[in-house]
Structure 1
Amino acid sequence: MEKKEVQKQPVGSSTQSEFVRSLEVKLDSMKEGFTSNKTLNSLLNVEQVKHKSAEDIAQIWKQFFATRDAVFAVIPGDTFDLIWRRSQCCPSFLYALPRKEGYEFFVGQWSGLELHFTTLLNIQTAGDSAPSQLILYHYSELQGDKGIVLMMGECDFKFLNVQEAHCLANQVQLFYAGDHFGLVETFNHNPSDFKYMAVISLLEKKRMGKRSMDS
């Protein structure tokens, strides 16, 4: 019998569902613990999606993560540019997470394109060796051509559930890309003037605080 040549599909011919399945396999292989040096190429074949529109890529990203307990987002490039510029002069901030009894505070610290969240209590007791409870990875490889930045998070589920992790992640745009960056500047450059109650008051006003989480 003659051997039939296996015809390879041209790059980019895969369907949306095939991209999602590929992403699922790659993420499942790395789901144990935090992953160092995680690149977008380790999750998604960047060359294969370059021909797709920003809307299609966003759909692939959202379609996959929507079925999992995961923190994720597709951030407009202009919004991330603002966040990134501001993070260079103000790399840390104090975030408030609603709990059953009041609030728990987390310090968010930028390290390159990663944003690490650690409880304030851990920092006070362990200092620089305090472990992260949540890491947000931002991928800007497609920003120039597609105008989007992909984000995914890794969470220590012994300390946070997905809803709580999303609450912290959503606060990043609130404080770094909105009209409340003054609080971040005060925290970084005039810490003696920083009022943590201002953070809680803003979260309550934006319905991101304890009363909203309890409802």
Structure 2
Amino acid sequence: MEKIQEMTGEEITELWMKYYSSHETISAVIPTQIYEMILNRSASCPMFLYALPQNEGYELFLGQWSGHELHFTSLINVQTMGEHAPSQLILYHYPDLKEEKGVVLMTAEMDPKFITVHQAQCLANQVQLFYGTQRQETFRLVETFNHNPADFKHMSVIAELEQSGLGPAPPPRRLVETLETD
């Protein structure tokens, strides 16, 4: 912390991202304003169901906030092990610099037997999509999951994910179809 006191938020961002680029994990630097929104929303809506694209369909993960940490566990593990289900990905947020430098640092701890760096990045991107969004309709999915679970539909999460571009791309049109319709 002493070494970065003289650095700007941009310099800290560059240093943080460069350092973690050589590690088998994910990292991010979140602007204070966005992190404050995410943190405030996580206080009233501490859990959400995330959809991780797989080869065939999606695997669902439960994300649960605990202070500045976000723990992800596959839904199948939650259903089979309950509260003893281990976290397969934990996002750690470090808000020490948010006031003075305008940034919150994030890194992750992940179980490589269950989740890849690419999959961890997809889940982290969804946190911003659902908790850091300006679109009230998108955050409403999080509110529904937490406050009206009987009305929650997991397919709405998948639809939002695909609409945002974070889900899998639609299957390519066959070349024959392309030639016939062009």
TM above 0.5: yes
What amino acid does structure 2 have at the position aligned with 1:97?
Answer: L
Which residues in structure 2 correspond to 1:121-160 (within 5 Å)? Answer: 121-160=76-115
Q: CA deviation at 1:57?
A: 0.5
Could you tell me which runs of 5 or more consecutive residues in structure 1 were left unpaired when the two chains were aligned.
1-45
Name the counterpart of 1:107. 62
Name the counterpart of 1:33. none
Identity of aligned residues (%): 54
d(CA) in 2 for partners of 1:211, 1:197: 16
Describe the SS at the equivalent of 1:210.
Answer: coil
Name the counterpart of 1:197. 155
Q: Runs in 1 of length 4+ with deviation above 3 angstroms?
A: none
Describe the SS at the equivalent of 1:146.
Answer: coil
Q: Larger relative contact order (C-alpha < 8 A, sep ≥ 6)?
A: 2
d(CA) in 2 for partners of 1:146, 1:118: 32
Alignment check: 8 A CA contact 1:71 1:162 kept: yes
d(CA) in 1 for partners of 2:78, 2:23: 30
Q: CA deviation at 1:177?
A: 1.1
Q: CA deviation at 1:211?
A: 2.6
Q: When the two structures are superposed, what TM-score results if normalisation uses the length of structure 1?
A: 0.76
Count of aligned pairs between the two proteins? 169
Of residues 104-113 and 65-74 in structure 1, the stretch that sits farther from structure 2 once superposed is 65-74
Name the counterpart of 2:143. 185
Q: CA deviation at 1:68?
A: 2.5
Alignment check: 8 A CA contact 1:97 1:103 kept: yes
Q: CA deviation at 1:185?
A: 0.2
Q: CA deviation at 1:208?
A: 1.0
Provide the aligned C-alpha RMSD in A.
Answer: 1.4
d(CA) in 1 for partners of 2:146, 2:60: 16
Larger radius of gyration: 1
What amino acid does structure 1 have at the position aligned with 2:122?
Answer: C
What amino acid does structure 1 have at the position aligned with 2:56?
Answer: E
Q: When the two structures are superposed, what TM-score results if normalisation uses the length of structure 2?
A: 0.90
Matched, 1:69 2:24: yes
